[in-house]
Amino acid sequence: MSSELVTKYFREDRLPHIWCPGCGHGIATRAVMEAIDRLGWDKNNTCIVSGIGCSSRAPGYLDFNTLHTTHGRALAFATGIKLAKPHLHVIVLTGDGDTSAIGGNHLIHAARRNIDITTVVFNNNTYGMTGGQYSPTTPFHDKGTTAPYGNIDQPFDICNLAQAAGATYVARSTVFHPKQLSQMVEKALQKKGFSLVEAISSCPTYYGRKNKKGTAVDMMNFLKYRAVSQSKFDALSPEEQAEHVVTGEFMNRTAPEYTESYQKIIDLVQGREESK
Ligand SMILES: Cc1ncc(C[n+]2csc(CCOP(=O)(O)OP(=O)(O)O)c2C)c(N)n1
Ligand code: SF4
């Protein structure tokens, strides 16, 4: 992390961070900070919200208006903030467990409403903070402390889920590709509506160890190998596809935004707008 970004955006009294050596979450956090820096957003008008998890530690380190909420509830809190103060930029930094397991319903409904919140999911395919239990994104057959013989649940594709639910910007990259990741976050931040960027991250401490993925560097190299474009993915056999993940932009559209629609109702009730 360049010292300039740290000085500008981090609560230096909260450092050093407690992420393990080789954890991908710091890279994802930096990608978000770089995007905010390029946009020149005012920290006082930006609110960053998380649930609980290693990924959800991020807002604690960041010198913005931040909320470290209950596990799975980041989007519920963020929705309240955005409705009360629509002028604020609201960002959710969350884990795959936080957002697609306990918080899965909030994700679906935030996307369906198309509320102007950007969610960045740090997806390390496991519950890092609580010791490596399998999550809804753990690949089929991979191991976790709660799946010692291999996961038999079909994993969620968080991007497909957000898209199907109604999000207006959806993209995926990895922490091996921080530039691409940061550019996607920048586009997501500018989108009026619900946007989601999935950052495939790495947890060498639990997921890597349980699944014999080698060192933290081996895991980063695996991300490089794993990430392919849609066209490359389509040309692979089903067995090969199981080893890879598609990165890129999946959705970029315009749709009515929730707080604006809500304001129209307020205007109507208060007699400032005609009923349609
Ligand atoms: C209501 C509730 N249930 C469970 C927990 C325990 N808990 C804390 S973090 C966590 C999982 C975190 O996993 P994830 O969101 O994937 O983030 P990561 O730590 O992997 O970054 C769980 C189950 C909790 N704090 N609160
Ligand atoms: S347990 Fe995993 S996710 Fe948590 S800080 Fe360590 S490497 Fe990162």
Sign, CA dihedral 156-160-163-165, equals: negative
Which ligand number lies closest to the CA of residue 135? 1
**Residue 228: enclosing H or E segment and its boundaries?**
strand 227-228
pLDDT at 102: 98
Cβ(33)–Cβ(106) below 8 Å: no
Amino acid making up residue 241: Q
Contacts of 251 (CB under 8 A, 6+ apart): 162, 163, 167, 168, 169, 170, 171
Q: How far is the CA of 254 from the centre of ligand 1 (A)?
A: 33
pLDDT at 274: 73
pLDDT at 275: 65
Low-confidence ranges of the chain (pLDDT < 70): 1-2, 275-276
Smallest CA-to-CA distance from 100 within 46, 38, 154, 21 is with 154
Q: How far is the CA of 100 from the centre of ligand 1 (A)?
A: 11
Instruction: Please name the residue whose Cα sits nearest to atom 16 of ligand 1.
Output: 97
Cβ(222)–Cβ(124) below 8 Å: no
Cβ(207)–Cβ(151) below 8 Å: no
% residues pLDDT > 90 (the chain): 97
Residue reference for tokens 């450092």: 15
Instruction: Please name the residue whose Cα sits nearest to atom 8 of ligand 2.
Output: 23
DSSP H helix total and E strand total for the chain: 13, 11
pLDDT at 276: 64
Instruction: Please name the residue whose Cα sits nearest to atom 2 of ligand 1.
Output: 71
Q: How far is the CA of 264 from the centre of ligand 1 (A)?
A: 37
pTM of the model: 0.97
